[in-house]
Chain A
Amino acid sequence: MDPAQIEFTAEKESIVILPNFTEDKIYLISGEVGPFQPQVPVTVPLWLAVNLKQRRKCRIVTPDWMDVDILKDKKAAELEMKLFSPPLHPHYLELSTIILGVSNEVRNGDEVRTLIKDIWDVRSAKLRKSINDMIHHDTGSGRPLSHVEISNITVLELNTIRKFFTSSLDHLHNLRNQAERCLTNPLYN
């Protein structure tokens, strides 16, 4: 999958905005939004929030988890834990990039951006290390890994390793199958 398509999927997430206009409820195929009244918080999908913000018709309320203190705690927790801790949000990187890009009202925006990038880097490093371990893993009698559970990972992180990981496991299994076939083939024994 393309990262752009994952971002497209992330744009469906709900976010709270403060409109500066009045409008009745709007009936969309994906649900209803509104009614809109000035300074009354309303929940809308992210794609709509971005569009309204670009037309200067609303202010975006920063999500709770995009706060400097929470991010610092999260980063410390990630560094401490050997496995993945539950992510801030299933689409934390997409949401934070979009919101920071379109809104200049995020408190300590630069620091938030740096902290989120740090968290992403820590998780990516953990991911690379665990892939290395998984590929060298042996389920006994020299057979490569055929099943693994990895929860607490976001789709975007998974996407960075998808191609490499799946094709290397494919190759390992192919080589193993060929080896077994040769060993049992009377022609070669």
Chain B
Amino acid sequence: MDGVVDDDDGEFEQLTAAQVLERLEESWVNERLAPYLLESQQEVVDCLLEQCTMAEENSSQISPFAADIQRLELQRIRYVVTDYVRTRLKKIERHAEYALEEEKKKVDENITYLSPAEFVFAREFHRNTQNHLQETALKHMPQAFQSLNQEKSMVHPNLNTFIFFKVKEDCDDVLIDPQETSVSLSKDEIHISKYHPISPLLDQSKIRLV
């Protein structure tokens, strides 16, 4: 299963199925450990699901033994994909308003944090929570108190939480803490620091969370 095409930054990148799976598993671990949503890897997910359905359809053409083993692997892949999506949805549910605000403020069209389906989910979830609050509580309050201040009631994710990461490529002059001097990171070291200063490195795939 070679030469699977994956869309990356508007250019087509040839990746093998194994590399796509590798990328999904890394994104899964990163997503589980990060305090807020990372860039949406929707193409990777779609590509893998396509591979899975193709493999299932072809399973009649190979020996039952091989089909068995393939089925085991498909179950593993399906678990990773569902847990990845589940983690993202949980984060969206926690920070629905913040996510929608960020989407509005987005500067670079190529970097999406919410896939189209997730955006719809976030909007509907937010709308439903607002309605629920309105119906159950706000409606019965005196007129002057019947609105919710968006800014103050939003749940901001804590982007300054501490996080462990492993370095994939050498990076020089990384400003880990604004009040301290910059450090150099060498390959295969494990560090702990605040999430915010190193999140650009994570987006560029120079580090991965561990």
Expressed in whole angstroms, the Cα–Cα distance for A29 and B72 within the complex equals 11
Which interface residue of B25, B160, B192, B193 has the most chain A CB atoms within 10 A? B192
CB distance from B24 to the nearest CB of A (A): 10
- Indicate whether B38 reaches chain A with its CB closer than 8 angstroms: no
Complex interface: stretch among A72-80, A96-104, A121-129, A165-173: A165-173
Do A5 and B32 touch (CB < 8 A)? yes
B148 at the interface (CB under 8 A from A): no
Task: Determine whether A147 belongs to the interface, using a CB cutoff of 8 Å to chain B.
Answer: yes
Q: Classify chain A's interface size.
A: 20 to 34
**A30 x B18 contact (CB < 8 A):** yes
B150, CB-defined interface residue at 8 Å? no
Q: Which residues of B contact A9 (CB under 8 A)?
A: 25, 29
Contact B190 A23 (CB under 8 A): no
B69 touches A (CB below 8 Å): yes
Digitize B45-63: 1 where CB-to-A-CB distance is under 8 Å, 0 elsewhere.
0001001100100000011
State whether the Cβ of A189 lies closer than 8 Å to any Cβ in chain B: no
Chain B residues positioned under 8 Å from A5 (CB to CB) = 32, 83
B89 proximity list for chain A (CB < 8 A): none
B191 touches A158 (CB 8 A): no
* Chain B positions 160 through 204: 1 when the CB is less than 8 Å from some CB of chain A, otherwise 0: 111110000000000011011001000011111110000000000
The main secondary structure of chain A at its interface with chain B is: mixed
Q: How far, in whole Å, are A173 and B83 apart by their CA atoms in the complex?
A: 32
Contact yes or no, B66 A26, CB < 8 A: yes
Q: Which residues of B contact A162 (CB under 8 A)?
A: 164
Number of A-B contacts (CB under 8 A): 93
Query: CB-nearest residue of chain B relative to A139?
Result: B180
Q: Please, how many angstroms separate the alpha-carbon atoms of A57 and B7 in the complex?
A: 41
Q: Given A5-B32, A146-B176, A149-B189, A29 and B163 touching (CB < 8 A)?
A: no
Contacting B160 at CB < 8 Å: which of A8, A12, A173? Answer: A173
CA distance A24 to B29 in the complex (A): 33
Contact status of A147 and B192, CB under 8 A, knowing A29-B51, A51-B72: yes
Task: Digitize A151-169: 1 where CB-to-B-CB distance is under 8 Å, 0 elsewhere.
Answer: 1010100100010011001
Residue contact A151 to B1, C-beta cutoff 8 Å: no
The answer to whether A1 touches B162, judged by C-beta atoms less than 8 angstroms apart, is no
**Cα distance A47–B69 when bound, in Å?**
10
Q: Specify the chain A residue showing the minimal Cβ separation from B209.
A: A1
Q: Tell me whether A23 and B162 are in contact (CB under 8 A).
A: no
User: Given A28-B69, A29-B51, 9 other A-B contacts at CB below 8 A?
Assistant: A1-B32, A23-B66, A29-B77, A146-B177, A146-B180, A147-B176, A150-B190, A158-B210, A173-B194
The 10 closest A-B pairs by CB, nearest first: A166-B162, A147-B193, A146-B177, A26-B66, A147-B176, A169-B162, A29-B17, A31-B18, A28-B73, A151-B189
